[in-house]
Amino acid sequence: MDSHQNNSGDSDDLRSPVLATKYAHIASNLVHTIVKNFVIIIGLISALIVLALLDVLHAVGYTEAIPDSVYDSTIAIFSIILLIFILYLLSNSLKSKRLLRSWADTFERNSIRTGMNIAMANKSKEEAIRAIAETVSQIGESLRKYISSSKENYKNFLDVSIRDNNNNEDIFFDVLIDHDHVKIEHSNTSNDVNLLKQSLVEYGAVAIRVIDGTIDTKAVQSFSNSLSKYILLTKNKVGLALIIGDNIQENADSFARRLENNKINYIVLIEKYYNTVRV
């Protein structure tokens, strides 16, 4: 996956409640512009068809008043104009594709952030795993079956250390949900386990860091470094990386998005500054 950048402007508040309305108006204008360009292209193509028919009639002797050079030069001019409009439309279409992809990423990010906040009763690692199962549809159903079959299954994803023999150090994650840590327990069926493993291979691993205090750029960079080492050692991609803290530094969100790449789909920062008891 390409690096997710906010092409509509990093200054936009991506958590603004009016974001969807703003994007809807821009998308409407994009569609209107594309349709208008298509009308012009259809008109040019129609003119070329008329000229081609006249040229055919001229060739068989039905029209003799207009010389061949006029037909040829007129068709060439219309063809050049048509080519220019097609290239212009192609350029606008590619820009629109990138913009729409950026919006889709923004809405996906906000959906994950909102879903996690709603699903988590408190800022615990176990609650984070349960919230992932409720929020991430690509792996949610199979993960719910896995963790609901046994409380011991939570432990497979908690406080995971991966040894980096090259640097003689451990890479630590508060939560790491990947296909390597899905274990077959007595309470699990092989079909459920295989389904979860396959889902995690397709979606990518889910890595979570839970911190006390503010999520700042230093914390984001440190987490990104751990993710990069994990990817290098395991050859797994990361579908979702979450940092859960009390609050978020102003520029940390945009900094996290710049660290996303084709191996790290999303880095999402989540504010969870209160602890409540679920009733």
> Is 1 part of any domain?
no
69 and 146 inside one domain: no
Residue 12's pLDDT is: 47
d(CA 253, CA 148): 33
What are the residues whose beta carbons fall under 8 Å from the beta carbon of 129, sequence distance 6 or more?
A: 143, 147, 154, 157, 158, 175, 177
Relative to beta strand 205-210, strand 169-177 is antiparallel
> Is 62 part of any domain?
yes
pLDDT in tens, 62-111: 555 556 566 667 777 777 877 787 787 778 777 777 777 777 777 888 88
126 and 261 inside one domain: yes
The series of mean pLDDT values per 10 residues for the chain, 279 residues long, is 44 50 64 73 77 65 57 74 79 76 79 89 90 92 88 88 83 94 71 88 95 93 94 93 92 91 92 53
Q: Is the pTM of the predicted complex or chain greater than 0.75?
A: no
Quote the strand ranges of 19-131, DSSP E: none
Range of the domain at 260: 121-271
Residue 279's pLDDT is: 31
147 and 93 inside one domain: no
93 and 195 inside one domain: no
Residue 10's pLDDT is: 43
43 and 64 inside one domain: yes
Domain total for the chain? 2
CA 123 to centroid of chain Cα atoms: 25
Residue 92's pLDDT is: 76
137 and 261 inside one domain: yes
> Is 2 part of any domain?
no
Edge-to-edge strand order for the sheet containing 205-210? 158-164, 169-177, 205-210, 238-245, 267-271
